[in-house]
Structure 1
Amino acid sequence: MSIADIKKIADDKMHKSIEAFKNELAKIRTGRAHPGILDQVHVEYYGSMVPLSQVANLTLIDARTIGVQPWEKGMGAKIEKAIRESDLGLNPAAQGDLLRVPMPPLTEERRKELTKVVRSAGEDAKVAVRNLRRDANEHAKRLLKDKEITEDDERRSEGDIQKLTDKTIAEIDKLVQSKETEILAV
């Protein structure tokens, strides 16, 4: 393994950390309806728990309402119960076969709680990136110990990995800031 390989692997993993963080942020609701909010809801389907998206079609009816159309007739009540029992604070209403899931407006207190959740998720993402930096630096030290690279190469790689880490953390901070702005907008 060379220094270029170490940098490439660290870059790829840090990019994946940012993508995972973006997915985490998408699950945090902001008052606007988004079908991804229901991704964590699981429904009992013939004895096993499956994600809601595997038993129903999720659509946006309007900016504040998600439509859930079950693919089988008898699933409506089970889906309604699963959404109600999830910790999302949603209250679906049946309209024939279609379930309407209105997004309740966020209170000021709830908005502040959500910003804390966003900051916490951002901190977790930063910790993951710092762990990737540590792993990459350990790989470089191992190469130095095995006399495959010089001390200058090892120091230069640490500097490059630090620059990559700083860039990734700055991107995470920017994502946290934009999500907080989105949540606090009334």
Structure 2
Amino acid sequence: MTEEVNFCIEEAKERMEKAIAHLENELRVIRAGKANPSMLSGIMVDYYGTMTPLQQVSNVGTLDARTITVQPWEKAMIAPIEKAILGANLGFNPQNNGEVIRIAVPPLTEERRKQLVKQVKAEGENARVSIRNARRDANDEFKKMQKDGLPEDMAKDAEGEVQKMTDTFNKKVEELLQKKEEEILTV
């Protein structure tokens, strides 16, 4: 195959990989009833006038399956961290003992589990759409190249390769969704 075709295939593969990475990040934030430090990953704290990620001003860990602990590096940061956690609207109620902030992760209700599964499926569909868009763009590019003199069999081979990649990445999306659904529905 020509260099242009290979470049186009690589570009499509890169876009599909980014779709999978984005899906993994989105699924990591959706809580499944177990305490996980990544639940607090998007929280920004006012650190002396600068908005800073929580992980850069404290240690975030889990005490057990139902408790997240946040240990600020400076005691003066306890109040701003608590404020940031409450302001993030995650449904958590942080409590501190003057040194450590503890967050009890409430168990999920059946209704909430179903909502989370719907959210997971929506994220999966977004990833599939991104993958299909990458395939479509690559195929359009092959058609343009064909008009500019690329042999038809080479264009068909390239389209076939992109389709194989699409199938592989869709299978990955399905595996990620299934794993997350099981995690959410496990009581």
Structure 1 equivalent of residue 162 of structure 2: 161
Q: Secondary structure at the match of 1:90?
A: coil
Structure 1 equivalent of residue 175 of structure 2: 174
Instruction: List alignment gaps of at least 5 residues for structure 1.
Output: none
Whether the 8 Å CA contact 2:45–2:52 is kept in 1: the answer is yes
**C-alpha displacement at 1:140, in angstroms?**
1.4
The amino acid across from 2:59 in the alignment is N
Map Cα deviations across residues 64-103 of structure 1 (whole Å, 9 max, x no partner). 1111011122110110111112121111110221001111
**C-alpha displacement at 1:48, in angstroms?**
2.4
Q: Does structure 1 residue 86 correspond to structure 2 residue 83?
A: no
Whether the 8 Å CA contact 2:71–2:99 is kept in 1: the answer is yes
Whether the 8 Å CA contact 2:86–2:94 is kept in 1: the answer is yes
Q: Secondary structure at the match of 1:87?
A: coil
**C-alpha displacement at 1:142, in angstroms?**
2.2
Structure 2 equivalent of residue 51 of structure 1: 53
**C-alpha displacement at 1:22, in angstroms?**
1.0
**C-alpha displacement at 1:38, in angstroms?**
0.3
Whether the 8 Å CA contact 2:78–2:98 is kept in 1: the answer is no
Structure 2 equivalent of residue 31 of structure 1: 33
Whether the 8 Å CA contact 2:75–2:98 is kept in 1: the answer is no
Q: Secondary structure at the match of 2:34?
A: coil
Aligned-residue identity in percent:
48
Aligned equivalents of 1:84, 1:5: Cα separation in 2: 47
10-19 or 80-89, larger mean C-alpha shift:
10-19
Structure 2 equivalent of residue 110 of structure 1: 112
Aligned equivalents of 2:28, 2:66: Cα separation in 1: 15
**C-alpha displacement at 1:5, in angstroms?**
2.1
Q: Aligned-residue CA RMSD in angstroms?
A: 1.3
Structure 2 equivalent of residue 65 of structure 1: 67
Aligned equivalents of 1:65, 1:177: Cα separation in 2: 25
Aligned equivalents of 1:110, 1:172: Cα separation in 2: 23
The ranges of structure 1 where at least 4 consecutive aligned residues each deviate by more than 6 angstroms after the TM superposition are none
Map Cα deviations across residues 86-131 of structure 1 (whole Å, 9 max, x no partner). 1211111102210011111000111011001100100111111111
